[in-house]
Structure 1
C-alpha cells in the first residue's frame, strides 16, 4: 500500500519553463505522429515554445506511458518547484538523473514513496496516482462525490483526489464513462492535464486547452489557443463569443445539447457520442464538423458558415445524421442515413459509404450529389445535378433531379415509386419502373 502524500502549498505557474519532458532525447518540432491526434494542438504549442521534446526519429509517441520519475520531473517544471532536500529510497541514488526531481517533489509534499522504502521511479504512473499528485500540488480539497459518476473502480486512496481534479478541470474521464484510474497516463494526457494546471492558474498565460465538465457548462468571451473538450458529464454546453484555434471535441451524448453562438472554430468540431444536438447561431464559423456518431445539427438565427460536414464512421444502423443547417459540403465516408433539411452545395457519397440513404426535405436544394457508392435518395427536395459513378443508385419519384450524368460502364440510376420511413432511415419499396 502506498503512503498518503502530504498536501502541498499551491504554487504560481509560469510559462518560463525548462524543457518539460527532459527525459526525451531531442527536441522535435511538428512531430510526424501527432497531426491527427486529439492532443495535437497542445503538443504543438508546447513544442513550439520548447517546453517538450520528441524523439530522434521525428515522433512524439503521444500514447506512450510515463514513468513516475518522468511525471514528477514534469510536475516540478510546471510548478517551478526547485525545493532542495534529500531522499533515502532504496531505488533512488544520488547519481540517478531523477534524484533531484524526486527529492524536490517529495520535499514539496505532493508525492511520496511506498511502505517498503522504494519510490519505483521506473514504474509507469497510473492516472489515479497522477490525480493524487496534481490534487496535492494544487492544494485541492478532497471531493469523493466528484468521482461517483465514473463506472470503473477507483482506489480508496485516490477517490477524493480524482473528484477534485475533475471538478477543477485538470483531468477528465473517457467517453465510455470511466476515469481509467488503473490505466497508465500517456504522454499526451500528461501534457494536456499539466497544461490545464498551468493555464488555469496563471492569468498571464493564454489557455491552450479548456475542458468543460459542469452539468450546464458556459464558456464566454475567450480565445482558446488549443482544443475545447466538452466532457461526457456535461448535459448542456453554451459557447458564446469564443474563438477556438484548435478542435472542439464533443463527448456529451443523447438528449444533450451544445449551443455555439458567435463561435469560430479554426480546427474541427469532432462529435464522438450518439444523440447530441449541436445548435449554430449568430456568426459562428466552422471549417469542418467531423461526425463519428448519430447527431443533429440545427440552426437558430444562424448567419455564419460551415464549410464541411464529414461522416467518418458507419452509423446507418444507429439512426439519422440530421443536417438542419446550411452547409457548403457534406462528405459521407462511411455508410450512414443522412437527412438534409437545409440547402447544401455538394454531397459526396464515397465508395466505402455504399448502402447509404440520403433524404432531402421539401424545398431543400442540393446543387450536386456525387455518388461514388450506391445510395438511395428519397424525400421531396431538388438535386440540380446527380453524378452517378456506381451501380445500384436509386431515387424516389418525388425527388426532383434536374440533370444526371452517368459514368462510363455504370448503370443509370433507377426511379423508385414508393418508400416507407422507419428505423435509421427510409426503406425503399422496390416497385421499380
Structure 2
C-alpha cells in the first residue's frame, strides 16, 4: 500500500467514525482504521524496536548494512508490523528527527509555525533543527513537516551540518544536472563532492526525487563515519587555539580566561551556540565555517573583534557588550553571507565593518557604529539607541520603532519612522512617517560627556574606577588619535578640593574612542571628596566640535567592593567523595584581622579561622590541617583521615578572624554543609563500529572512572562485572589481548577503544563496565553487525589521454590496501583512462561492470575526484579515490647543447648565451619538467611529449622556443656567438729543397672526443 493510499484510508475511517458515532461503528471498520493509522506512523515516532535482522523487508536490500547501522545507532526505527519500509519517502520532520538523533543535537528554539502543533511527536525535533539552523520554514509561516523531502532539499540541509570548504563535485557529468534548482545547485555540488549524494545506476542524480528511508540511513551512516563530530561542550581558553575540520554539535565557549588573546575557527560547523566571553582586538577569526548561533558577552572595556572570512555564515549573533564585528573577503551566496543577522541588545556598543544583511537593535541605549561597508535592513526597537553611519557607509532600509538618534554623514536610502523623538545628522534620502508620528528633526552631533561616579555622588567605594564617556568617537583637539598616554595631559584627579593634591592614576581608552577609564593607583581615602577635572578644548568629535571645560566631584564612603567567599564542596552538595579536596577561597588577599599581619603558608592561626564538624555546628570536631596559597586567597583543608561515607559535614569560616590586605573589609562568618557518598557510575552510551577483523567501541560514562570492555561471540553467556574487569569470559577463562580493553574515562566524554582479532562472518557482543571509587556500573552490552570481509581491487591504472592516445605511463602505484591516490596533471590534459580489476562488481563514477572495467573520465578542473568502488556478495565494499590536481609547469628540466664533437655550457635562466667554435652544426635537446607539456620550436613544428631534439645550421645564431603546460607558457631564447674567421696569410715561395736534408716529422694531434653535458635549469 502506498503512503498516499494509507493516508486516504485513515481519513476515510476518521470520517466514518465522525459520521456514525463511536457506538454504531462497525468493529471491522474500526480495526481497519487502527491498522491504517499504524501504517502511517512516521519514522521517528515511538515504534516497536526491532533489530534490523528481524525486519521482513530488509534482507537482501542494497542498504541492508546501513539500515543495520542506523538501527544500532538508534537514529532510525521500524514499524509495529515488523517492516522497515526502506523505499518509503522521508518527510521533512522525519529527516530532521534522524539528523538530530544521529548527531546528538540537543539545543532547541521557540517555534511559531502554524502547522507544527506542540503536541505532535515532531515538535521538539523541528525546534532542534531550527536551533541548529540547518533548516527553516517557508514564507507562509509553515514548516510542512509531512511533506516528503527531495534529494536536493536534503542536500541543502546536509551542506549546513558538515564542513564543506573546498569540496566540489562534478554535477555536469550527470545528464539531468539542468533539473537541479538554482537554490540547491551549490549545496548539492558540495555534498556530491563529499560523496554523500551520488548518481543512480542510470548515471543521473535525480535531484527532485523523494529521498527514501534507506537513502537517509546510508547518508547519515557515511556522515558519522567520515566526519569528526564533537558531541560535548568545548571550551577555548588558550591563546592561539585553532579549531579545524570538526562538527561541534553543542556549545563552544571562548572563555574569559583567553583575556586579550586570539583564536581561530576554520572549516567547522557549530550547531549549538558559540559563546564569546574572551578575546581581544587581534580577533576571534571564523573562516570558511558555519555557526548556527553566536553570543558576545565579554564584560570588559576593550571589545573583542570577531572576523568572518571566506565561506562563512554566522546565522544569528547577539551582543550585549562592546564588540567589533568585521566581515572581510566573504564569498557571498549560500555559504558566505557572513553575519546573516545581528542583534544588539542591552547596552551593547558595536562597531561594524563590512556588509551586514540584517541588524536588529533591541537594547535600550545601545550604540552601533557602521565604520565601513553597509547594512541592508536595520530595525530599531530599543529606546534611546544611537546609530552612527560614518562617511562612505550606507543603510538601505531603516525601520525605526523607538526614539533613537542617527549620526554621521553616511546615507540612509529609506527610513520608516514609527516613533517620536527620532533625530538625524544626515537626512535620509526617503522616508515614510506613520500616522500621528512627528517628523524627525535634524540635530548637530554633540560631544556629550558623562561621568561615573556622577557629579556629587556620595558613599562611593574606595576602589572605584572612574569613567568618562563621550556621545561619539573623539580625537585629540589637534586631530591626532587619542591614546591612553594622552589622558594625563588634560584630565586631573584631585583630593579634597579642585586645587587639592593630585592623585596618581592609570588611564585607558577603549578601541571605539568613546570611553576613558581612570584607575587610581591606590585605594581612595575614607570619607573624602575627590574632583575630576577635564580641560577645555582637549578633544573633539568627528564633526570638529570641541569639549567644554568639565569638573565634577564625588565623596567616598568607608568600604571597598564586596569580598566573595567560595567553598568547595559547595553548600548542599551530595555524594561527595570521601577523599575530596576541601577549600575556602576569597576574591581578595586576606590577612589577620587583629593586626593586619600576613599569614604564612602553614600558619597555625588558620585553624582558629575555620570550624569543621560532623552533622552541624554543634557536632563533633573533625581533625584537620590547613594551608594558604602564595596569593593569600585560598585556604586548603586536609582532614587527618578519610571522611566517613554517607556522613553530613559542616564547614565554616569564622567572623572577624580575617580581613582584606588593605584592611578595609572584614571577612564575614559564612558556613556550608554537604554529605559524603558515592555516585554510582553508569555507562551512558556504548556504540560499536565493526571493521574487517576489528571493532571500535565508543563508550561514555556519567562520571570519571576506568572503563573495562570484553568481546565475546554473540551466543556466549554474559560475564559479570568482576569477570569483565578481569578480562575473562563467563567461565572465568582469560581472553586474548585483542578481545579486551581498558582505560580512563572523563565524565560525559566519549572515548574509543579498539578490539582486534575477530573472525569474519561472525556476530560479536561487547560488554562494558565503568568502575569508580571501588563501585562498578551496571553491565552494558551492545551487539555488532556480523564481521564481514572486505572487497579489494587487484589492479588499478590511471592513464592520461594525450593527442587522443592513451599510450602513456600509468600514474598510480597501486596497493590494494591504499584507498586514496593523488596525481597532478596540467590543465591541457582532457581526460584519463581508468582501468580497474577485481573479483566483484566494480563501479567508476556511476558506471558498473563485473570483475574489470575501463572508463574514460573527462577532466573538468582542479581537485577533481574519481571514485572506484568494488563490492562482492557477502563482503563489505571498498571505495578507492583518485584526486586529480591541476599543475601547470613550463620550466625546463634539462637542456643539452652539443656542437660537432664537443659540448657547450649555458649560463642558466630563460635566456642562454653560448659561444660556438665556428660553422659546425649545433644539436639542442630540451626536456620540460611537465612530461605532457607542448614544446614549440621556432617555426619547426611542435611535439607534445615534453621533450624534443633539434639541430641548428651553421648560419643560425638566434633560436627561440616555447614550452606550454596547460594554460601557462614560457618563452626561451638561445643565442650563439660564432667567432669571425680570419683570412689565411699569403705563403712565400718555398725554398729549394736541399739534398740529403732531414725533414722533421710533426705528429698529428688527435682530436679530443667530447660528449654533450646535461644542464639543469629552474
Give the TM-score taking structure 1 as reference length.
0.49
- Higher normalized contact order (CA 8 Å, seq sep 6+, divided by chain length): 1
Name the one with the larger strand percent: 2
Q: Which has the larger radius of gyration?
A: 2
Judging by fraction of residues, say which structure has more helix.
1
